[in-house]
Amino acid sequence: MYIVMLGAPGSGKGTTAKILAKRLNLPHISTGDMFREQIKKGTELGKLADSYISKGELVPDELTINIVKDRLTWEDTKNGVILDGFPRTKAQAEALDAILQEAGKKVDIVPELIVPDQVIIDRILNRATCSNKECGAIYNTKYKPSKVPGVCDICGSKLVTRTDDNEEAIQNRLEVYRKNVQDLLDYYKEKNVLVSITPEDPTADNASEQAVDEILK
Ligand code: AMP
């Protein structure tokens, strides 16, 4: 199953995508994570991507499409993937369709997580992510703190704050998201694959689990 997870930054999209991937035993592909990995490694691609990401701007389509296209040639993607953060523009959605079509596949379902802005801003400003890429657990210093501050409960690695998790970049990312998402919503609505998910209490501990239940219903 090929799933495209939509939702504003901080909507819980990443956590929901991870749970979905585990439940369906499919790879979780996050373009944001892929870029951050390149930035950490100090590659040319990472440096270029960082010049956009640190300002909350989108990385150009061509660059983004190419890394996804390459990732979708991996063997582990042949039964499906959970895409998180891609596509973000109509051009990316069209490119994704073309890539999948070549392999005789298609996007099966596009869940959109709908969460109020205030919850999003509060969540992002207090977000801490495990620095161990294999783990990637996400905490919230206010609502879901780790047992020992700054240390991951699961693997013991250091928790870090993303460089784009500051108020100015967040506002910009929300604006960029809104500006682009309507095109995607229209695109996928027309293809009859869009499903709107509105968590009853998006701050609840099990909000993402509930969202996944709703998606797989
Ligand atoms: P995310 O982790 O999905 O919030 O992505 C973090 C940042 O990476 C975004 O604010 C963009 O700058 C960049 N990025 C991630 N995915 C894409 C994409 N599909 N297209 C363009 N830029 C992206």
Closest by Cα among 108, 106, 157, 104 to 130: 157
User: Domain 2-115+181-215 is of which CATH architecture?
Assistant: 3-Layer(aba) Sandwich (3.40)
pLDDT at 176: 85
Q: Residue 50's pLDDT is what?
A: 95
Residue 180: per-residue pLDDT:
87
Q: Which of 13, 88, 124, 171 to mutate to test the pocket of ligand 1 (most atoms within 8 A of CB)?
A: 88
> What residue has token string 């604006």?
175
Per the annotation, the verdict on 127 as an active-site residue is yes
The two structure tokens encoding residue 120:
């999003």
* Ligand 1 neighbours by CB, cut-off 6 Å: 9, 31-32, 35, 52-53, 56-59, 64, 85-88, 92, 164, 173
Closest ligand 1 atom to residue 56 Cα is 10
Estimate to the nearest angstrom the gap between the alpha carbon of 81 and the chain centroid.
13
Q: What is the pLDDT of residues 20-68, one digit of tens each?
A: 999 999 999 999 999 999 999 999 999 999 999 988 889 999 999 999 9
Give the Cα separation of 49 and 57 in Å (integer).
10
What is the residue whose two structure tokens read 């801003």? 121
pLDDT of residue 168: 82
CB atoms within 10 A of CB 65: 21
Q: What is residue 164's predicted lDDT score, i.e. its pLDDT?
A: 74
Find, among 32, 63, 74, the residue nearest to 165 by Cα.
32
Taking the centre of ligand 1 as the mean of its atom positions, its distance from the CA of residue 74, in whole angstroms, is 21
Least Cα distance to 87 among 46, 115, 113, 59 occurs for: 59
Q: What average pLDDT does the structure give for the chain?
A: 92
Segment 89-125, tens digit of pLDDT: 999 999 999 999 999 999 999 999 999 888 888 888 8
For residue 185, the model assigns a pLDDT of 96
Assign 8 a pLDDT band (cuts: 50, 70, 90): very high
Query: Per-residue pLDDT tens for 172-211?
Result: 888 888 888 999 999 999 999 999 999 888 888 788 999 9
- The pLDDT tens digits of the residues spanning 149-161 come to 999 999 999 999 8
Strand pairing category for 194-197 and 110-113: parallel
129 phi/psi in degrees, rounded to 5: -115, 145
Mean pLDDT of 69-85: 97
CB atoms within 10 A of CB 145: 15
pLDDT, position 169: 82
pLDDT score for 117: 83
pLDDT of residue 2: 98
Rounded distance between C-alpha atoms, residue 211 and residue 13, angstroms = 9
Tell me the pTM: 0.84
